[in-house]
Each structure stands twice: as structure tokens, then as C-alpha cells.
Amino acid sequence: MFDNDEWLNQHREEVIDPDREIIDPHHHLWRPENPAGIVYDLPELWSDTEDGHKVTQTIFMECGSSYRPDGPDHLKPIGETEYITEAAIRASQDPRKAQIAAFIGHADLRLPVETLDEVLDAHIVASEGLFRGIRHAGPFDEAGAGFRIRPHAPKGLYKDEDFRRGVHRLGERGMTYDTWNYHTQILDFADLAAAVPGTTMILDHFGTPLGVGPYAGTHKANFPKWKDDIAAVAENPNVYAKLGGLAMPDNGFGWDKRDTPPSSDEVVEAHAPYYHHMIKCFGAERCMFESNFPVDRLSLSYRVYWNAAKKIAADYTELEQQAMFSRVARQVYRIEP
């Protein structure tokens, strides 16, 4: 699925600002032997992080990888934690390479508090200090059957009182809540953030402006409302924003279907308005660039993504750039240098 090096290598460009430190706060991994046949393990991650940019640390984001095959359902996600902890230990044996510095796991936040605490405690034990929080994402769309990444949340998850109780519990325990959803759900997320102000929340992927299926060709028409909805989310000081994930096929920019991959200039031309609006609303001190690899690898290379991010960031001060490329991720996810 992600073995598209030959296609990506058709376009190569020089690395911009190669000495700038980057913490990549959002990537996934899958074991080579996983049932889905998806391969993106530590060697594949390092192949990308070693491609010219100075990526010193990364944060793994849950993706349903390596769940336990048996045992209680609520504890099956601990298998992912065990896998990532093992990968982080392997990574630590070569400190010259990017290190997995933190981990965001999964739990069903609708569970009774006692059961949810059991899951959170199990993540803590299995992660050997890497666990920081939970992503129980909310993507729902009735037209989702044609999406490349199928939505998997029930309708109205953000309004579910049991779910909100679970998000609140994360805040009580000093843990973060990550999510992604579609652009049609951004105001629902804003309402959740206002209802649970004591929990630090991170909105991934710009709220996923869709551009396929019934949303094909609607980017320009939907952009003004997207801007207003993002501004509403940003009014909640407990929310941080990840800047990336716009190259997923379901965003509909179409690069995954081309004969050749895009350049960083093409990415900037298509995506910069989203980045600049997000930074305007949240401020650099609440934003962090993210690769969302290998999912975005379906559309562009790691080198091209970070070159595009650096071109966009050039409009901001040095301190603001440091914040968005490393400092905010280090602060939010409590990472030691």
C-alpha cells in the first residue's frame, strides 16, 4: 500500500533549511506481518525521517495496529501499545536516528469510568513511560462508503454524554485527547471542546476538508464556512491544532492519482490558505506541523511535505517557526529533548 518509492522518486528536490529541528507529532506504524497487509514499520519510518530533514523525535498515533487477538475487547488496544513500545526500544539502540518519544493510544471513551481507568492504567504499564493520551476519533458521514479511509465513528459521538464523561476523565488524569473528523463536524467538535474545558485536545488534519464523492470540487465553495468553523474551535483555549494531513486521498486534491507526484510548490499553492488561516486563529503557540505518514505518503514524499511546511512557515518569525516545528509538540506531549 505504501511501497510507492518508485512513483515518489520521480520528483526530487533539495531540502530546505536542513538544520531546523523537527518533532513529527503524528505518524503510524504497522508490523510487516499484520493481517491487513499494510507495512510501515521502523525501517520504513526511518527511511522517510532520514531523507534530509532533521527529524529528531516522533509521536506515534493510534491506528488500530497490532491489537491483541483475544482477551477482553476493551483491552485489545493494549497490543498496539506493546508493539510501539518495542519499536521505541529498538529505536533507542541507534540514537542517531529519530526516536519515538511518545505514544497516543486508543480506548473507547464511552466505557464506565472504572473500566476506562483499567484501560488507561494498562496503557501506562505497557508503554514504559511513552503513553500520553487517547485518540477516539469522530469521523462520521453518511456518504462515507466511497472514502479511501472509511469513517468509523457513530453518528453524534461528540454529543454522547458517556463519551464526554470519558474525555473529561482524560483531563482529570492529565492525559490528552486527539481526534480527527470531517469538515462537516467541526462545529460539533467545538461544542465538545467548550463542554470539557479541562482536557487538552488536539484537532488533527485541519478537520479534514473532504474533496471526494459528493464533496468533489467543493473546496472553494466550502472554504469560507471552514474558516468560520475553525475560528469557532480556536476560541477554546484547551484546543491545539495539527497542521498536516491535507494530502490524504479523501481530501480530494488528486495527487495520488497522477502519473507523477507533486512538488512542494504545488503543495504550497493548494494548501497554504488552510495553514495560514489555522495559524491566524490559533497562533503559532497552539499549532504543530504533522506529517500524518504514511497515509499522506500516498500523495507526496516526506521530503516534499516538510519542504512545503517550511515554505509556508517562512512567513512567520523564527520563534514562531520553532514553536510549530518542535516546541509546541514537546510541550503538549511532555517530551524531553
Residue pLDDT tens, the chain, 337 long: 788 999 999 999 999 999 999 999 999 999 887 766 788 999 999 999 999 999 999 999 999 999 999 999 999 999 999 999 999 999 999 999 999 999 999 999 999 999 999 999 999 999 999 999 999 999 999 876 688 888 889 999 999 999 999 999 999 999 999 999 999 999 999 999 999 999 999 999 999 999 999 999 999 999 999 999 999 999 999 999 999 999 999 999 999 999 999 999 999 999 999 999 999 999 999 999 999 999 999 999 999 999 999 999 999 999 999 999 999 999 999 998 8
pTM for this model (two decimals):
0.96
CA 93 to chain centre: 26
For the segment 126-145, what is each residue's pLDDT rounded down to a tens digit?
A: 999 999 999 999 999 987 66
* 106 is a domain residue: yes
Give the C-alpha separation, 274 to 277, whole Å: 5
* 337 is a domain residue: no
In this structure, are residues 89 and 54 in contact, taking their beta carbons and an 8 Å threshold?
A: no
Question: What pLDDT, on a 0 to 100 scale, did the predictor assign at position 35?
Answer: 67
Where does residue 331 rank: exposed (0-12), middle (13-18), buried (19+ CB within 10 A)? middle
Average pLDDT, whole number, for the chain? 96
**CATH assignment at residue 317:** 3.20.20.140
Burial annotation 30-60 (CB, 10 A radius, 16+ → b, else e) = bbeebeeebbbbbebbbebbebbbbbbbbbb
Q: Grid coordinates representing 204?
A: 488533527
In this structure, are residues 26 and 317 in contact, taking their beta carbons and an 8 Å threshold?
A: no
Question: What pLDDT, on a 0 to 100 scale, did the predictor assign at position 142?
Answer: 86
Give the C-alpha separation, 271 to 246, whole Å: 7
- Helix, strand, coil tally for the chain in percent (to 5): 45, 15, 40
Structural domains of the chain, count: 1
Give the C-alpha separation, 115 to 111, whole Å: 6
Q: Grid coordinates representing 78?
A: 493494549
Within 10 A of 230 (CB to CB), how many other CB atoms are there?
24
Residues of the chain above pLDDT 90, percent: 93
Give the C-alpha separation, 58 to 38, whole Å: 20
Give the C-alpha separation, 40 to 95, whole Å: 20
Give the C-alpha separation, 81 to 98, whole Å: 19
Strand 99-105 to strand 21-27: parallel, antiparallel, or no bridges (unpaired)? unpaired
* 38 is a domain residue: yes
Range of the domain at 306: 5-332
The sign of the dihedral angle between the CA atoms of 272, 278, 284, 290 is negative
